[in-house]
Every structure is written in C-alpha cells, then in structure tokens.
A and B are shown apart, each in its own frame.
Chain A
C-alpha cells in the first residue's frame, strides 16, 4: 500500500510482488528486449511507427471497451461499428465539408452506442446480448450502405485526412497521437473525475452504488454511448489511413479489444482496470503481431501465440490478490 519502491524491492518476495503488480509493464519490457535482440529491423523508426499506426485503431476502441468493462459490462459491437462508421465517414467526406463529416460520424457512433446503453441500463438487457445484436446490425448496415464494396475518398477533405493519418508529428504518427491523447484523457477522467470514480464504484458493487444514491442507469447508459463515439473515432482513423471505408473493416476487433483490456489486468466483473494498463495491453498485442511478422511467422501460429500470452498474463494476475 504505502510501501515505497525501495521497500518493495528490498526482499526477494518483494521483487516478485513488484513484478506481479506491474506484470503488464514487465511483460511489455520483456517483449521489447526480446524483439530488439531477435530482429535488426525492430528498432527502426519505420517499424516502430508502423507498429503504432497498426495499434491505434484497436487501441481507441480498447479504451471504450475498458470503460464499459469497468461497469461490469461488455461491448461486442465495436468491431462492426468501426466498419459501419468507416463506410459512413467515407460517404460523408465525399458529401460535406470535413469537420462536419467528422462530427456527424462521431455523433452517429454515440447514437448507436446509446442504443446498447439504453437496452442495458433501462431495459435491463444483458450487455452481451444487447451488444451482440448491435454487432450484427452494424455489420449488416455497413454492407447495405456500401453495397458490399469499399468507398474511396474522392474530395480534398478526404485527401487531407489521409495525409494526416499517414504523417507524423515530432516523429510520432498523428493517429498514434490521437490514441495517446484519448488514453491520457481517460486516465485523468478515471482518476480525478467523478465520472470515473462512479463507473468504477458501479462495477465493483452495483447494489451498493444504487443505495449510495448514484444514478447507476445514467452512467451505465453513458459508457456504451462513449464506447460508440470512440468506435467512430477509430473508424475515421482507419478509413483515413487507407483512404477508404470498407464494410470488412474491424473484423473481430472487439475480441482484440477485450484481450487488450484483460491483458491490462482489468476484471471482467468490473470495478478494476486502468487506462495506462489497457495501453500496455494494446501495445503487447501489437508487439507480438509485429515481431512475429518480422520473423515471417504466418498468421495462424500468431493467433496461437496471442492466445498463450492472454492466458499467461491472466494467470500472473491471479497472484496479485494473494
């Protein structure tokens, strides 16, 4: 609790405890070292910036997933939402001015998330079921509006977005900056804002929250809506990177997002999890993919390794409470 770093590291069991407590950071650093040793190209700016670009989309929806999971819920719709909203953005960017296109896309994301939120909070539907329904609806709508094929950006606004998405500022890819800003805002909200405190309270004991006079339904509703808005942000980013919106985007991303949140030590029962650890979870998943690519490991074995890492990370967390 109030132990300093030095006290924690002063005994062998202290070191073990420290490793268990910061296991995600530990795994991340281990992977970094391993990657650097095993491949010459890993620590090149091209590779690292590629890595960051690859994880930014999933990273943003993972943050949405985190706040939903903190309340004890789950949002399965985010992957499909990315597809539908990428298509939506591609259509809009060809129709209206860029800022409006961005705004409307995010508003639609918020609205779709609100549907899940309404069903979960006010209709008492199980989050798994409500968001599963939204997941198929969103994917279906994506195919309907795009008529099954990708929609490319054709206007100056679209060009501007694809420039933005593929360039860097101070050596960091712009879209990774967007991701990091979202992580920082979430971190601050969870730590220093009433909103964050209350969603954690709701996730750790919903009945006690209700009896403490907390507007449980309102906050449960809001987290899904925010998750939807973040899915829209991710959609804009991935669409801009490739200059098009396709209904095939974001396939199974909800699962990667859940994996990232879980690797980051969050509890699926709610009430436990931080933005910084989710960021670590996202980076760990990204790193594994990246290094296995560099080693020319085909994608199927990659999935096996990913699964193994998830099990390892969660097993490690079990020691934490002991």
Chain B
C-alpha cells in the first residue's frame, strides 16, 4: 500500500443542504482517515442519509466542500461517485431482482468497456468474492429467489470492489442474526486493513462500540463533533443524540379516556414482514403512540391491522366483538381509518380536487341507493370539514397537488374524519409539514380523541410522540419491546427501548 499523503482520506466540511424551505443539514463536518471505521449516529431525520447521499452523488450540496484524497470532488450522480471510489450500501435494497447474483454484483460494469461479456469469468469472480465474505450464496442464482439476508450480503458484495476507497454502510445489520453480524464484522476488519475507509450508520450502539474507531453524532442536521470510541460511552452518546428541549407545540391533553378498550389486537403477525406477536389495545378517547426506529415494523403493523397487507395470525376486537379484516374495504366498513405515512403515493389523490378527495370514503351518507350523489350535501360536508380543519384554500375545487404539505395532510385526515371513524391509525402525522400546520394537526388529533375515537399515532419524531400520546408503545425488531406511561416519557427511554436496551 502506498503511504497516504493526507492524514484524512475523506473530509466533508461545512456541508449544508435544504429541501425547499426545510433545512436538513447545517454546516456539517466529518473527517475519515485511511482504514478507519467511522460511526455516524443520530435519530431518525437527523440528516444521516442526506449526508451520505451528498457524498455518493444522489443529492447535490447547497454549500460546503468534499475532499477525497486531497482533491475536491463534486459527484453529480451515483455513477460519478462510484468511479471516484465511493460505494454505498443503502438501507433500502437496490438490487435488480430478475438478474443473477453475479450480474447484480458487476452491474456497474456491464456494458461499460467491452462489447462482449465474459459470463464465465464474471460468474467465477462473483463466486470468489462471495466465498471470501464467508456467506454461502450461489452466484448464478436469481436475486428474486434469495432470502433477505442473502440479498443484503449481495448488496454489500456489490459495494466492495478493487477500487473502493470509501465504503458506506447504512444500517446493514437490521436483517442479520448475531452469527451473520460476526461474519460481517470480520469482513469489515479485513477491509479496514486494506486501508478502505468505512462509514458505518447504525442505531445499535452495541455494534458501534464493538467495531467503530470514531463516532460522529448528528442532531437535527448539525454535527455535535467527533469522538474516538475509547473516550466515550453509551450514555454520553445517547445524550448527544437527544440534547434538545421540548418546544411548546403540543396542546394540553383533554383526558376523557374510557374504561374499556374500544379496539384490541392480539398476537398479530405478518405473512411477508417482520411483525410478530403484536398485542395492544386502545381505549375510547385515548391517543396511543407507537415509536421505534425505521424498519422496526411500525407501519407494517398498522397496514396489517388495516388489511392492506396479509396477516399470518392475529385476532382483532372492536368494541368487544371480534371482527375479521381481510382488506381495507373491511376495515373501512368497520369505521377504522388509516392515514398513510406516504401522503403522495398512498394518502391523497393529487390530481383531484379537495372535494373529490374528501368524499371518496363517505359516499354512503351522501348518495342515493343507486349511487347518485347529492351534490348539495356533499358540498356542505366538505366545506364543513375544510373550515373545521382550517385547510387553507380558496375553494373546495382546488386540486390537492396545489396545496402545501400541511394542507394535503389535513385533506388525508379529513377523508377519515368524514365517516366518523371509531379508530384511526395515523402514520407520521406531520412528516414534511411546517410548524404552523403541525400545531393544527396536533389540536385536531386531540379533538378527535375527545369525541371518543381511539387514536393510534405512529411517529419517528420523539418530541411529537411524547407531546401528543397518553401512552407509548416502542417497537423493536417487529414487536413491542416495551410500553411507557406518561411519567416515563423521555427521549432516552424511547431510544433505549427502540434499540433493545432496558431502561436505566
């Protein structure tokens, strides 16, 4: 190996980035040495992924400087990033399912230089690479047929090639069991010996303290500085990750919680997702928060209950009676609402007017037996909701795509309020919503609960979930790891349960 010229292989300094008016990164600095494993930590939404995407060329920074081996770089896309030697393993798998393992590993090289592919050699090389990682995977297999663990390994193999200088791993172990993790760590140590710089993103503090040399914590888009692992401990890292105050955003909860659970789930498990052994109940008028890290199964749980995904097992009770929910049609029939976290793809109808969006769930009450809509009562209903939810719009005929994020979210909520739901699941109620609209949405949730509706709020925003919930269930790896009562609410406690640690 050549003697390194610069002390640091990678220096990112003064990186700032905003999306629209939302500032995601503010003057972030991170320096990674040759052959260093550098852990990047932070809560959901702290800006870790954005920082990595700027490094790899997915996003372009607004300001700042990225220096690789002493030369400033500005990758315009991921291909340029790869050519420079920056390879990223993202949390969401990005394999081509219908190609073979070998083809996926060398995808970036297919068609790059030669006209003819040497399939034999390519497959041989891929197999050698996989074998050297210590995992049993057939390089000729189609990716579609692999298990999720195997897919993750292929993803990692893809990122390791002879010219990799910086390797970024974003939550690589969420699907791994302890023996797999051990294998992965051995590989990382081997890569480290070769002088490759590794940026390792994880919520598992145990892992970090086992493998990393240095830790950088991001909080709300600002870096809190880098510390060598030897000079810190878990508790101070958790403190660094939280370190902010609850703002005065949240309405005073008007407690009118019923005695009996209005809604109850027992032993829920998903067919195609990690959710298992989920049991909980909601009382009328209660706001239950579901916290947990991304990928812990929160959204999946809600979708299972709502019938949008297939259940493996589980019983559901509404007002004490067992009900069968096999599809969202059934759920809506029982007056159970679900507001998706993915507003644009799953929540609202962007090209349609506010009126058409809101009334889509509530034709029963405003149409005749033959399905003819009473336009007058439709207007009355929709205008009433627009006023009540304070949706800012000149008229009910404005297309939803022309509204701001906060107002779009209110439309998504209005859809379920218009049918007098008994239970509402709200997934990420305020993602991408400005502060003003946030307050209004919190008030609204409060009011809905006051009417005796059972509300379940899923949120990654810790101050939010503590501010609006009466009780918080924390998910970890597909099931509820713990429950927090109001007097136990703290970011630290939520975080501890989220990463599978007991409370202090």
Contact = CB atoms under 8 A, between A and B. Distances in A.
Given A200-B352, A207-B345, A213 B395 contact: no
Interface stretch (B10-18, B174-182, B368-376): B368-376
B276 to A, nearest CB: 23
A272 interface: yes
B371 A195 contact: yes
Interface string A1-39: 110000000000000000000000000000000000000
A211 B363 contact: no
B77 interface: no
Contacts of B349: 201, 204-205, 208-209, 271
Interface in A120-161: none
B361 A213 contact: yes
B347 A208 contact: yes
B59 to A, nearest CB: 26
A213 B330 CA distance: 7
Interface stretch (B113-121, B331-339, B486-494): B331-339
Contacts of A210: 308, 328
Contacts of A47: none
A192 B375 contact: yes
A69 to B, nearest CB: 14
Given A211-B328, A211-B338, A193 B373 contact: yes
A205 B350 contact: yes
A195 B375 CA distance: 14
A296 interface: no
B367 interface: yes
A212 interface: yes
Interface residues of B, number: 33
Between B306, B352, B360, the greatest number of chain A beta carbons within 10 A of the residue's beta carbon is seen for B360
A195 B360 CA distance: 11
A193 B395 CA distance: 22
B351 A194 contact: no
B394 interface: yes
A214 interface: yes
A138 to B, nearest CB: 30
B395 A1 contact: yes
Contacts of B340: 208, 211
B503 interface: no
Interface in B395-454: 395, 397-398, 415
B53 interface: no
A210 B361 CA distance: 11
B348 interface: yes
Given A205-B350, A211-B346, A197 B329 contact: no
B310 interface: no
Contact of B373 (A1, A192, A207): A192
**Majority SS of interface residues in chain A?**
helix
A198 interface: yes
A3 to B, nearest CB: 10
B359 interface: yes
B356 interface: yes
Contact of B328 (A200, A201, A213): A213
A139 to B, nearest CB: 33
Contacts of B395: 1-2
A201 B352 CA distance: 8
Contacts of A194: 363, 367, 371-373
A194 B366 CA distance: 10
Given A195-B371, A198-B360, A207-B345, A212 B328 contact: yes
B215 to A, nearest CB: 39
Contacts of B306: 211
Nearest to B335: A213
A1 B328 contact: no
A203 B345 CA distance: 13
Contact of A197 (B328, B350, B356): B356
A284 B329 CA distance: 41
Interface string B355-393: 010011101000100111101000000000000000000
30 contacts: A1-B398, A2-B394, A2-B395, A2-B397, A192-B373, A193-B371, A193-B373, A194-B367, A194-B371, A194-B372, A197-B359, A198-B363, A200-B352, A201-B352, A201-B360, A204-B350, A205-B345, A205-B348, A205-B349, A207-B345, A208-B346, A208-B349, A209-B349, A210-B308, A211-B338, A211-B346, A212-B332, A213-B328, A213-B329, A271-B351
Given A200-B356, A214-B360, A215-B329, 20 more contacts: A2-B394, A192-B372, A193-B370, A195-B371, A197-B359, A198-B363, A200-B352, A201-B349, A201-B356, A204-B350, A205-B348, A205-B349, A207-B345, A210-B308, A211-B306, A211-B340, A211-B347, A212-B415, A214-B328, A271-B352
